[in-house]
Chains A and B, each alone.
Chain A
């Protein structure tokens, strides 16, 4: 029955056209680009790292992003991870919503982000870094960390600008554990990126510059209400690149390098995303 349901889902999705959407090559930073209404993007994100004095791990996250309206995008994430010499565990889910409060384009465009997380502490997806997150969290054995469940509310203020082909995005992150008496934690992410060329070619091609975009990201924690600042926080920075395969998926890669002793030396991030356009369109009457 489950197999039939899965096959049915894929058959339904295959009726929709897939293309690369408006996507910047960021892994942590959000821009003000939302999912186009009616489109569903399915994305697989992976992180691989070898923390010093800890076991290597690989984290996998599947994301379903739907454009509910032109000003509201909603997403569900499912995460799991595998740690060498330890185990493979499912970590939980996130439900995220992004809203554009201003209905027109401005020099700086705000987006409000609200997310509910139900994850165990073994989560290593590192979709953001907040508070005093550090390499020591990644050394905990799965048997110990998976038994601690965290239900968090995460709020972000996303500020983003598109200027002469460049995207510049700043995110201010705050997170609160809803089931433990912990203070609000804060973090940041900053990204800048640009397509390799701004002019589209007149012919189809795969390895044209217009299909690539590149940039850089920096992100990290800012402590919490009990101690705001850089003390005992971790930070990462690195280049990022995305390749939009024409009428196919977008593939992105980024090595992020730890900037202090609280950070992992390097995080290797990659993602593959596939956008299904107008997934409900075959229910609509075609106008001809």
Chain B
């Protein structure tokens, strides 16, 4: 029985490792892509999003969202020009293969507030030590 369990574990690990996806944007459904942020550009939502960002995101992406180590900047053109729906999809699904967890436990309105905040930061260049998101 133990041998069977070890085999099952190895098969599972191999499957998870091979379930690679080439980039989070490729997996955004048309339905998600078309979604709009009900809190876009609202000052209160941006302030709330800022609090959420500092609590949940800043430790990886940096307090200024410019990235930290291998954790990507959120102020690149790719992120800032992504649609709200695309970013919503990223937060909902995560990008588990690359270490970005799913934030589906964060209520949907809070996720939109977070996106409103990230979009309010605007683009800013990064140095070579940060990793692009894709």
Binding site for B on A (CB under 8 A): 16-17, 19-20, 22-24, 31, 33-34, 36-38, 67, 69-71, 99-101, 103-105, 112, 114, 153, 162, 164-165, 167, 195, 198-204, 210, 246-247, 277-278, 281, 284-288
| A17 CB, nearest partner CB in chain B, Å | 5
Chain B 64-78 interface residues, beta-carbon cutoff 8 Å to A? 66-70
Looking at chain B's contact residues, the main secondary structure is helix
- Give 1 or 0 for each of B51-73: 1 = CB within 8 Å of chain A CB: 11001100110100011111000
Kindly list chain A residues whose C-beta atoms are within 8 Å of the C-beta of B107.
165, 195, 198-199
Kindly list chain A residues whose C-beta atoms are within 8 Å of the C-beta of B93.
103-105
Contact B105 A22 (CB under 8 A): yes
Interface size class of B (residues with CB under 8 A): 35 or more
Q: Which of B51, B70, B109 contacts A204 (CB 8 A)?
A: B51
Q: Which of B15, B27, B44 contacts A101 (CB 8 A)?
A: B15
Known A37-B99, A287-B69, A287-B129; contact A24-B105, beta-carbon cutoff 8 A: yes
For the complex, give the distance between the alpha carbons of A24 and B48 in Å.
Answer: 21
Q: Which of A162, A203, A204, A246 contacts B104 (CB 8 A)?
A: A162
Contact B106 A287 (CB under 8 A): no
Contact A198 B109 (CB under 8 A): yes
The reply on B130 being an interface residue by CB < 8 A is: yes
Beyond the given pairs A103-B96, A200-B51, 10 more chain A to chain B contacts, judged by CB atoms under 8 angstroms and listed by A's residue number, are: A20-B55, A69-B96, A99-B16, A101-B15, A103-B19, A162-B104, A195-B107, A200-B110, A204-B51, A277-B60
| B28 CB, nearest partner CB in chain A, Å | 11
Contact A165 B108 (CB under 8 A): yes
Contact B68 A31 (CB under 8 A): no
- Give 1 or 0 for each of B90-122: 1 = CB within 8 Å of chain A CB: 001111111111111111111001000000000
Could you list some 15 contacts between A and B, CB below 8 A?
A36-B101, A37-B101, A70-B97, A70-B98, A71-B96, A103-B19, A104-B96, A153-B5, A167-B105, A199-B113, A200-B49, A200-B109, A202-B48, A277-B59, A281-B69
Contact A70 B96 (CB under 8 A): yes
